[in-house]
Amino acid sequence: MNIAAYCRVSTDKSDQINSLETQKRFFMEYTEKHGHNLVRLYADEGISGTKIKNRKEFLRLMNDAHHGLFDMVVVKDISRFARNTVDLLQSIRTLKALGIETTFLTANMTVLGQSEFVLTIFGALAQEESANTSKRIKFGKKMNAEKGRVPNIVYGYDKIPGEYFDMSINQEEAKIIRQIYDWYTESGHGTARIANLLNEKGLKTKRGYAWSQNAVSRILTNALYAGKIINGKQEVADFLTGVRAQKEESAWMVTERPDLRIVEPEQFEKAQEILSDRHKAFRLNRERHSNRYLFSTVIKCKECGWSFRRIVRTYKNTYVRWVCSGHNGKGANSCPNAVTLDEEDMIQKLEEYMAEMLRSKKKIIDHVVREFSKVYKARDENIDHRKDLEAELAKLQKKRQKYMDMYTDDLISREELNEKIGGMKAKIERLENDLRLVEYDLDKGDQLEDILQKTFQNIEDITSVRDMTNEQLKRIIRKIEVDKDGNVDFYLRLFGDLGLDETVLITDDHT
């Protein structure tokens, strides 16, 4: 009889590969012993049995069955054939309809003429075993996450041999990480531009591939570079389908690891703010980030919110002008702002604005300090409040860790652990959130002098507005807003950085 054999292992680890080789040897001996002709041995390596669509060799077996290549399928165990009861029954019925016998050797069961009831029981047991395995894996991952489980492969780090929960910084790759963050937060480059710069230098990713926009984005959003390990953002909602569900941020497992920090938390947060702003701008206005020209994405239309775009015309003389993208691209019905700004005129007005800023330096500083004092007048109270929050938080964390250690040492059960720390997590999260809010207010006070000095230093360093880059301009000016009547308002960035209401310091009329 022409037969086909099917075997499968769930992972591609070395011990499981050895198991696969053992199964292959078993089928070779089986066919010789019973005098069958083994047409083909179908073997899936490192594939779960819960989803047939991922098992290429199994699908190939079913396809060959339709072409009549064999008369019987031999499987060592039902769980090797499928761990999903529905898939098991559907596959068996298909083979039955083709007149092909299916034999499960460990259960001593042949399917033709066999009651589906018994087969369903065996299939349900295999599925339940898979469900329990999924629960054990999920629980193990949760425990590892609480201990600060680190990724296996991540750019900028090397895994320490034998240390499952630890790794070390790769200093050469760390330099590239810092360069990426500097390009993004200081030079104003986008992720695609950064990927091109890395590829031009001949640099490769951790797996040896060329850099892509997505690869750079993953670098910029990975909190590990700021010394924070975050686990448990997702979980498998259904072990049969493998569908993953996003978890609430409050349920994430966060471990602080300052020893793994490559970039400062402030720079990481700045990168997140820039990413958020650019994504928001694209969602609202389909506006892509650009720093190609001096005024790129700086001049905004007050009527429709779109950026002004640069237009170059050559007729007798060449001139460069800026117009509203909404009006220019979609017409007056979309935006009534038909104002045209001459680039040379804007450069002159910007130079006048910078000069006026320096002349009014004392007035501006006095105004900022006065406004800041109104908003953050409870600074001393916040300092005392922070100390109280830190003490309470440390006490709770120490108590929670004690029970976690007791569970790890098998001194208490899982149920007792849940009973002991059940309400602690919510309290810790509340305290951490309150502490972040207090520290945010205090940080603003600490930053006040630095921000003021940096703003005016940036202005004083400018020798010529014409030679400025887009990123240099954005460090000083948050936006230049233009309405349909030609009024041009300059908004200073330092007010936004301090969390104060923005104030228009200079307004120019273009009529």
The angle subtended at Cα 55 by Cα 49 and Cα 57, nearest 5°, is 125
CA atoms within 13 A of residue 99's CA, in its CB half-sphere: 6
Share of the chain above pLDDT 90, in %: 16
Alpha-carbon distance of 369 to 494, in angstroms, equals 12
Give residue 263's pLDDT. 93
Q: How confident is the model at residue 111 (pLDDT cuts 50, 70, 90)?
A: low
Mean pLDDT confidence for 274-297: 70
Mean pLDDT confidence for 322-330: 88
Mean pLDDT confidence for 491-503: 58
Alpha-carbon distance of 237 to 248, in angstroms, equals 14
pLDDT tens-digit series, residues 365-400: 777 777 666 655 544 455 566 677 788 888 888 888
Output 116 or 218, whichever has higher pLDDT: 218
Q: Is 253 helix (H, G, I), strand (E, B) or coil?
A: strand
- Here the contacts of 502-510 (C-beta below 8 Å, separation 24 or greater) are 502/478, 503/367, 505/356, 505/357, 505/360, 505/364, 506/353, 506/356, 508/349, 510/339, 510/341, 510/345, 510/482, 510/486
Give residue 337's pLDDT. 94
Give residue 421's pLDDT. 77
Which residue type is seen at 213?
Q
Number of H helices, E strands in the chain: 17, 18
Mean pLDDT confidence for 234-246: 52
Give residue 179's pLDDT. 95
What is the Cα Rg of the chain in Å?
Answer: 33
pLDDT tens-digit series, residues 420-441: 777 787 777 777 766 766 655 5
pLDDT tens-digit series, residues 339-349: 999 999 999 88
Residue 35: partners with Cβ closer than 8 Å, 6 or more residues away = none
Alpha-carbon distance of 119 to 81, in angstroms, equals 12
Give residue 220's pLDDT. 94
pLDDT over 80 (residue 13): no
Q: How confident is the model at residue 247 (pLDDT cuts 50, 70, 90)?
A: low
pLDDT over 50 (residue 86): yes
What does pTM read for this prediction? 0.42
pLDDT over 80 (residue 224): yes
